[in-house]
Amino acid sequence: MCGIVGYVGPRQAQDVIVEGLRRLEYRGYDSAGVAVVDEAAGLIASDKRAGKLANLEKALGVDGLPAATTGIGHTRWATHGAPNDVNAHPHLGAEARVAVVHNGIIENFAALRTALENEGHRLVSETDTEVAAHLLERAVADGADLTSAMEEVCGRLEGAFTLVAIDSQDPDRVVAARRNSPLVVGMGDGETFLASDVAAFIEHTRDALELGQDQVVTITRDGVEVTTFDGEPSEGLHYVVDWDLSAAEKGGYDWFMRKEIFEQPRAVADSLLGRHTEDGALQLDEVRITEDELRDIDKIIVIACGTSFYAGLVAKYAIEHWTRIPCEVELASEFRYRDPILTRDTLVVAISQSGETADTLMAIRYARSQRAKVLAICNSNGSTIPRESDAVIYTHAGPEIGVASTKGYLTQLVACYLLALYLAQVRGTRFGDEIATIVRELEEMPQHIQHVLDGSDAVYDLARRYVDHRSVLFLGRHAGYPVALEGALKLKELAYIHAEGFAAGELKHGPIALIEEGLPVFCVVPPRGRDQLHAKMLSGIQEVKARGARTLCLAEEDDDAITPYADEIVRLPKVSTLLQPLLAVVPLQLFACELATLLGHDVDQPRNLAKSVTVE
Ligand code: M6R
């Protein structure tokens, strides 16, 4: 995915755009570029550089581009073409009259490119985007205004795209189009913004307009006009952003990720707010699926990617235990390609922090085409996934800027627990007082998470002592197994070292061969309960310790049984097994963040990654 900004208003466009790109850099940082309409010269002025935004800023220097009040900008996550200066956006038409930035993939670009080249156009980049610049410029040169040109060109494009364009001969407007990629408009006082994410303009306005599928939007200083690709008048969805700039700033932390880890007590509390009565009955008014329909559900399939998938794995334990509804969890990228069995009584739960992930979106579309009901769990108000679902439970994590998901994950877990309990309530599979007890325990979680965070120095010390290891394993059982997977993912994506999570019971079936002297193994120890989980986990820990591993155990406060087998212990407050992931993952997040910091990596923008992946 990429980040896009557009601006028309009284300020210096370059400044507004570069500032907006800074807030969108989490979306991709392979290159950055800006183009403005130099009205005095009647030309487009632009600059673009491979690498992070800092490279572009350096190139712009003190003088920057000519003074201008209309412009566009882009920060890239490369799909077509290497991340170099030439492939960076904006791209210009043949006469450099039109400039375009693009997020997504134009699937039929090769055929369009060949046709253009046969007509004598010379395209200089390897990108799919450049064809759009040439097509738009040809249309305006033939007499269309930029809006009609955009409508016409989009009708010829296939794939997913947000396109934003300026025309040097039409200096007071920016025109954009949206299909399958995000785009929001910010409506200020005498100025208007376009961006992939409200973070880009939240400093200037919280008045936002979300664009729908296949819409074209024309912004001027005075406002906004929305049309369809067929040129028919249309409308966006107006909303007011309910968070402010401070939520999108680092607030004294070295990394957004670290700040977001420490925001988790608040994020979890916010995600519980207003979702149950004082006596612990669930009230999920936002679930727009009737109680009768929920009673008829005979199967749940959770679909998601990455960290959200691991939240889904925890959800399975809660859903099946509390509701007795069979629940499968599947990677969204695999789901629709295996001909899954779906009926109108299947509930598909799609989990996505960003609400933009293409794999998840395509899986949702497939599920709905098979008449299944889709409920989204999402953190991004107004994004595509909740819009295309039958119902949504929003997590209230606030903006998550660090590429590695942290508070997004914890609040997804909360939403999953709430959904499972709500289903149990509606279907009568748990008594009201049982549900109220779990809800009370959930309400205590923010203070427990805070307690774990208060011990962060001990985890940082672990990171310092294990910084030289090139391989780390993670073991868990039951709800602790997805925590092990998530701990390993955090370490892989941030520290770039070999890290793997295993179900502790599975270890002896093969992976135990990996154990060698001194290998660090994180062990998520389940709470001691009436079941056998704790004892079985203890056996697994003994097995790896006997083979020379260093055991780093996450265990509840007074778990003395673990002490003889643990080389290191991080203590967790006592909670029930199903809710323990909310606590156990926190030290693993802190460990990965600190280890990556010690290794000198960019924690917020790990190599090769982007915050949400809007291509399949
Ligand atoms: O926005 P989504 O929750 O749909 O994103 C899914 C994954 O791409 C995401 O969780 C990814 O794995 C993160 N980098 C994990 O930290």
Closest CA to 405 of 612, 246, 598: 612
Predicted confidence (pLDDT) at residue 610 exceeds the cutoff of 90? no
Predicted confidence (pLDDT) at residue 181 exceeds the cutoff of 90? no
Ligand 1 neighbours (beta carbon < 6 A): 305-308, 352-354, 357, 360, 403-405, 493, 609, 612-613
Nearest-CA residue for ligand 1 atom 14 is 404
Domain locations in the chain as residue ranges: 3-248, 256-446, 456-598
State the pLDDT at residue 220.
97
The whole-number average pLDDT for the span 272-281 is 91
Predicted confidence (pLDDT) at residue 410 exceeds the cutoff of 90? yes
Handedness of CA 595, 597, 600, 606 (dihedral sign): positive
Which CATH number is 256-446's, of 3.40.50.720, 3.30.200.20, 3.40.50.10490, 3.30.479.10? 3.40.50.10490
State the pLDDT at residue 580.
97
Mutation to probe ligand 1, out of 27, 181, 302, 305 (largest number of atoms < 8 A from CB): 305
pLDDT band for position 79 (50/70/90)? Answer: confident
Same fold, 256-446 and 456-598: yes
**Which ligand 1 atom is at minimum distance from the Cα of 412?**
3
Centre of ligand 1 to C-alpha 274, Å, is 27
Centre of ligand 1 to C-alpha 200, Å, is 20
Return the percentage of the chain with pLDDT > 90, whole number. 82
pLDDT band for position 159 (50/70/90)? Answer: confident
- Is residue 8 within a helix (H) or strand (E), and if so which, with residue range? strand 3-8
Task: Name the percent of the chain in helix, strand, coil, to the closest 5.
Answer: 40, 25, 35
Mutation to probe ligand 1, out of 29, 196, 308, 360 (largest number of atoms < 8 A from CB): 308
State the pLDDT at residue 481.
97
Predicted confidence (pLDDT) at residue 219 exceeds the cutoff of 80? yes
CA dist list (Å): 616 to 238, 295, 359: 29, 34, 5
Question: pLDDT for 127-144, tens place per residue?
Answer: 999 999 999 999 999 999
Tokens 């599947």: give the residue: 330
Give the alpha-carbon dihedral of 207, 210, 211, 217, to 10 degrees: 10
Question: pLDDT for 520-535, tens place per residue?
Answer: 999 999 999 767 899 9
CA dist list (Å): 255 to 3, 129, 465, 597: 20, 32, 21, 9
Q: CA neighbours within 13 Å on the CB side: how many for 611?
A: 30
Q: Mean pLDDT in the chain?
A: 93
Predicted confidence (pLDDT) at residue 611 exceeds the cutoff of 80? no
Predicted confidence (pLDDT) at residue 49 exceeds the cutoff of 80? yes
Global pTM reads 0.81
Number of residues assigned to the chain: 616
Centre of ligand 1 to C-alpha 488, Å, is 14
The whole-number average pLDDT for the span 403-418 is 97
Catalytic residues: 2, 611
Centre of ligand 1 to C-alpha 406, Å, is 10
**Which ligand 1 atom is at minimum distance from the Cα of 408?**
3
Give the alpha-carbon dihedral of 112, 114, 118, 122, to 10 degrees: 90
State the pLDDT at residue 347.
97
Predicted confidence (pLDDT) at residue 182 exceeds the cutoff of 90? no
State the pLDDT at residue 485.
98
Question: pLDDT for 298-320, tens place per residue?
Answer: 999 999 999 999 999 999 999 99
Tell me the Ramachandran region of residue 371: left when phi exceeds 0, alpha when psi lies from -120 to 50, beta otherwise. left
Predicted confidence (pLDDT) at residue 51 exceeds the cutoff of 80? yes
Q: For the domain covering 3-248, report its CATH number.
A: 3.60.20.10
In the numeric block, which tokens belong to residue 221?
A: 């200083």
pLDDT band for position 286 (50/70/90)? Answer: confident
The whole-number average pLDDT for the span 386-414 is 93
Predicted confidence (pLDDT) at residue 483 exceeds the cutoff of 80? yes
In the numeric block, which tokens belong to residue 183?
A: 């785009």
Q: Which CATH superfamily is domain 456-598 in?
A: Glucose-6-phosphate isomerase like protein; domain 1 (3.40.50.10490)
Predicted confidence (pLDDT) at residue 41 exceeds the cutoff of 90? yes
pLDDT band for position 548 (50/70/90)? Answer: very high
Question: pLDDT for 225-255, tens place per residue?
Answer: 999 999 999 999 899 987 777 777 777 789 9
Predicted confidence (pLDDT) at residue 80 exceeds the cutoff of 90? no
State the pLDDT at residue 508.
87
Return the percentage of the chain with pLDDT > 70, whole number. 100
End-to-end CA distance of the chain: 11
State the pLDDT at residue 501.
97
Predicted confidence (pLDDT) at residue 427 exceeds the cutoff of 80? yes
Predicted confidence (pLDDT) at residue 537 exceeds the cutoff of 80? yes
Centre of ligand 1 to C-alpha 95, Å, is 40
The whole-angstrom separation of Cα 515 and Cα 511 is 8
Predicted confidence (pLDDT) at residue 285 exceeds the cutoff of 80? no
Q: pLDDT: is 568 or 285 the higher one?
A: 568
Predicted confidence (pLDDT) at residue 517 exceeds the cutoff of 90? yes
